[in-house]
C-alpha cells in the first residue's frame, strides 16, 4: 500500500536564490567545483561575475587567502607550468593547480593581471609582421581556463599595446581592456562575452609598455 503522505522534496531548488548564493560563497574550492557539475542553474550562478566577486571578498576577509603563482620548468624536454595557492605565508602551502600547456600554441603564456579570483593571461602569435594575443581568463576557484573571443587588435613587431583586467562594481561585471599604439581601444565584458569599441578619446601617455 502506497504511503499517502506528501513526499519531502529532495531538490534544493525551492530554496530562495539569495540563500543559495550566500551558502555557496562559504564553500571551499573543491566543494564549489563539485557544485558546478550538479546542474545548469548552479553552474550559471557560480560562473556569474557577481558570485565570483562575492566569493573572493568573503575568502579575503575571513581567511586572508592569497595566491602565489610559480612557473616550474623542467629541463629535459618536458615543460610544466604550476600555479601554487598559499594561505598567508610561503611556508604554509595550500593546493597546487596545473595550467594545461596544450592551451598555448604561440610564443608561450604571460600573466597580465588578476582580480577577484580571475587571472588574465595571453598567448602571443604572429601573422606576418603583426602580433596578436589570444586572451584567457582563468577562474582560480573553479580551476577553469576560458578563451576570450578575439578583439581583432594587433600591433607591429616590437610595437606597443595595452591590456588590462578589472572589476566594475557599477555593472557588477569583469572587463578586459585591449588597445594598441594608435589608441584604438576595445573593452570586453565577461557576462556578454563580447567586445565594444571605446568611443571616447584615450588620454595620451608618454610611454606604453609592450605586453
In a domain, 23, yes or no: yes
Q: How far apart are the first and last CA of the chain?
A: 72
Chain Cα centroid distance, residue 150: 16
Q: Is 53 a member of any domain?
A: yes
Question: Would the pTM of this model clear 0.75, i.e. be above it?
Answer: no
Q: How many domains does the chain have?
A: 1
Does some domain include residue 37?
Answer: yes
**In this structure, is residue 35 part of a structural domain?**
yes
Whether 151 is covered by a domain: the verdict is no
Which residue is associated with the grid cell 598555448? Answer: 104
Q: Which structural domain range is residue 34 located in?
A: 17-63
In a domain, 3, yes or no: no
pLDDT in tens, 36-86: 777 887 788 777 877 877 777 776 655 545 555 555 555 455 555 555 554
Question: 48 phi and psi, to 5 degrees?
Answer: -70, 145
State residue 67's pLDDT score. 55
Is residue 85 assigned to a domain? no
**Residue 44: inside a domain, yes or no?**
yes
107-163 residue pLDDT tens: 566 778 877 778 888 877 767 667 777 888 888 777 778 888 888 776 655 556 678
Query: Buried b vs exposed e over 133-155: b needs ≥16 C-beta within 10 Å?
Result: bbbbbbbbbbbeeeebeebebbb
pLDDT tens digits, one per residue of 161-208: 678 888 887 887 889 988 876 677 889 998 888 999 887 666 655 444
DSSP string, 126-150: EETTEEEEEEEEEETTTTEEEEPPP
Amino acid at each position: 500500500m502506497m504511503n499517502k503522505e506528501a513526499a519531502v522534496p529532495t531538490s534544493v531548488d525551492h530554496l530562495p536564490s539569495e540563500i543559495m548564493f550566500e551558502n555557496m560563497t562559504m564553500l571551499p574550492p573543491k566543494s564549489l567545483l563539485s557544485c558546478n557539475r550538479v546542474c545548469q542553474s548552479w553552474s550559471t550562478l557560480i560562473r556569474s561575475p557577481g558570485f565570483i566577486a562575492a566569493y573572493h571578498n568573503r575568502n579575503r576577509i575571513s581567511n586572508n587567502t592569497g595566491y602565489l603563482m610559480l612557473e616550474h620548468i623542467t629541463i629535459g624536454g618536458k615543460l610544466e607550468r604550476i600555479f601554487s595557492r598559499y594561505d598567508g605565508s610561503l611556508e604554509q602551502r595550500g593546493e597546487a593547480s596545473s595550467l594545461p600547456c596544450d592551451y598555448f600554441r604561440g610564443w608561450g603564456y604571460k600573466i597580465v593581471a588578476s582580480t577577484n579570483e580571475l587571472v588574465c593571461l595571453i598567448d602571443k602569435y604572429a601573422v606576418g609582421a603583426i602580433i596578436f594575443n589570444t586572451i584567457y581568463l582563468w577562474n582560480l576557484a573553479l580551476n577553469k581556463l576560458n578563451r576570450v573571443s578575439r578583439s581583432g587588435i594587433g600591433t607591429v613587431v616590437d610595437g606597443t599595446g595595452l591590456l588590462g583586467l578589472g572589476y566594475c562594481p557599477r555593472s557588477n561585471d569583469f572587463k578586459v581592456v585591449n588597445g594598441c599604439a594608435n589608441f584604438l581601444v576595445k573593452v570586453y565584458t565577461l557576462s556578454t562575452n563580447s567586445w565594444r569599441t571605446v568611443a571616447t578619446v584615450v588620454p595620451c601617455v608618454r610611454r606604453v609598455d609592450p605586453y
